[in-house]
Structure 1
Amino acid sequence: MDNPKLQKLPVVNFGQENLQHGTKSWSLARNEVRHALEEYGCFLAVYDAVSFKLRDSVFSALEKLFDLPVETKKKNTSDTLFFGYICDDRDPSIRENMGIENSTDIEEVKKFSKLMWPQGNDDNFSGIIHECANLLSELEQVVIRMVFESYGVEKLKCDSHIDSIMYVLRFNNYKAPGVDEKTVIAPPHTDKCLISILAPSQVNGLEVNLKDEQWIPVDFLPSSFVVMAGDALMFCRHGATTEYDLVFIEFI
């Protein structure tokens, strides 16, 4: 990781001036997004709509969530593989994953919260998580619109895709490695969704594989998130239909 030739992920700023459709700033950001996804498959999005205070509140809420007994967390089930609670059978603390489907729907988030805290003592878990999910879904919609527009996909088709998207919020908890220990917790993989947005905690460790097969570490910036292209994006960027109109928002 000390190799000076290692590349760095491109950075795209999503300040208010870049979010105004039809402006020069929008066009420049759109070109940066397309280039980044074509060349790297992902990029760092600087997006200060999610405040430091909200981000801290989210990770505090998740810490409380993962402190719950395993039997409680196992109530997070889903008919879709990998969307519910998953853990390492040998030691749940090594890796745990949980998920909320339709996370931009406050009722779905409340349903999850009620499942985890039947007595209602969730310290506004629902409000915190739903607010963050909504803000990140807005970022995703801007990215999708920029990508589709750059490839000449009709606005109506773009709108149709955005209207059909289901946002899946996924929470990840990993056991901290020992001093000088390098452990691969999540094996190399791609997602079948349109886009994944990764929200980092204070722990580094995420790496991405570039087109030249080089693995590079992700160095997060303040107020940044990783936006990654999913397998389905290459279909719908040309206006094709896909059964994977999903967006993953992951806290890692």
Structure 2
Amino acid sequence: MESDDREKTRMKWELREIEWDAVAGILAALLALILHFLHIVDEGVLLMITLVLMALLFLRDLRLESDTEQITESVTHTERTVDEIRSAINPSDLELIGPGALRQRSKRFCQHARGDMIWFNVCLLMFVPQDLFDSLLRPAIENPNVTSIQFILDESEKERWRTEVKPKVENCKRSQTVREPIWRELDENVSFILGEKENERTDALLSFWGEPFMARTTRDVPRYIIYVTDESELIPQLQDIEREHRLRRS
């Protein structure tokens, strides 16, 4: 039944595509010839019919030419619009980094950082295992282009910093680049690292407290971070958050 409906629909479209004015012209010409051979009409009438048919065919060609020009103009306009849209699209300034690439991308971020780095409201649990510390924080400490590393942390992290993180920092080359953390009561659920680049611009690694980004647990849970390029409008907002808490009185 469905195939019959499709066949009927196809036939309807084929009938629509037939140039009925051309068919009518051919039938009129045949009828005129038949009437002429039967001596019902004379040559003058046949000539007049011929001229009318030629005029109709001429008008038909003009209409088809006009339609073709309109289609060509429409296609050209569409192509121009697509090109304008394509040229207006910029590469994304945010990139989600999953667990499989987290260590590698974090290490690369720290190795390419310059100047002063800000580590705001980060999870110190990730620095407890030595291998994670070596992948995530040591590259920044031992990067000769990094002049200082400033942590801004919640006061609840003081004990973990003293017992777990600070001893590891002191065993690193250039440990003096790590300043004493600024302790605040942070109610922010955002966590980020700001680092300068060669062009004196700033990019960031952004995360959030809570699954699946971050969790206050010693279990091995999936973690995600967002790489924010220096062209993103988020960078000034993150800098404002950091500045507000750094300059705020305890």
So what's the TM-score if we normalise by structure 2?
0.20
Mark the structure with the bigger radius of gyration: 2
Bigger RCO of structures 1 and 2 (CA < 8 A, at least 6 apart): 1
So what's the TM-score if we normalise by structure 1?
0.19
> Which structure shows the higher helix fraction?
2
